[in-house]
Amino acid sequence: MHFIIVKHPILPTDLEAEFSDPSCGAFVSFCGRVRNHHDGRTVTGLEYEAYSPMALGIFSEIGAEVKRRFGVNRLAIVHRVGKLVIGDIAVWIGAEAAHRDAAFEAARYAIDQVKERAPIWKKEFYPDAEPRWVACHHGSRPA
């Protein structure tokens, strides 16, 4: 299990190198990248902020849940904070298991839970308007 929050670019090849358990026939990774649009608006970049000690605790809880539910051998959650440009990787998840179903399900579960529970926020930047914080979970943002 490998859970980190980083300020530097995420390099998937380096992370994948840590997944080499010979008892595992399946490795699935998910890469969340910065998109150039959201809700019909052009986006020029994002800024992520995290309450890191708590977010890492949540990643660790997700890791324990994934192990219990899907029996994966290894899970990594890596989230970047700070200013990101279009195409940058914001989050990377890797799951390794004996068989593919568990690896796919674990990766899907982990990213969904990160988005729902981790105290991480993102601010969107636009070419033609003031930046704003995006609300994805627990209701929408106050007006």
Partner 1 sequence: MNISLRYFAHLRELLGRDRDCLKLPQGAKPQDILPLILPDPTAAQKWIPFLKVAINATYAALDSPLQDGDEVTFIPPVAGG
List residues binding partner 1 (CB under 8 A). Answer: 32, 48-51, 53-55, 57, 79, 90-91, 111, 114-123, 133-143
15 touches 78 (CB < 8 A): yes
Name the residue nearer to partner 1 (CB basis): 25 or 133.
133
The DSSP bridge pattern shows strands 26-33 and 89-97 to be antiparallel
Tell me if 80 sits within 8 A of 88, measured CB to CB.
Answer: yes
Closest approach, Cβ 21 to partner 1, in A, equals: 26
Is 93 strand, coil or helix? strand
How many angstroms from the chain centroid is the CA of residue 7? 14
Smallest gap, in angstroms, from Cβ of residue 1 to partner 1? 18
Contact in structure between 118 and 106 (CB atoms under 8 Å) = no
* Residue with smaller CB distance to partner 1, 21 or 64: 64
Cβ 22 to partner 1, closest distance in Å?
31
Q: How far is the CB of 33 from partner 1 (least distance, A)?
A: 11
Q: Rank residues 11 and 136 by Cβ distance to partner 1 and give the closer one.
A: 136
Sheet holding 74-80, edge to edge: 2-6, 74-80, 89-97, 26-33
Q: Which is nearer to partner 1, 68 or 137 (CB)?
A: 137
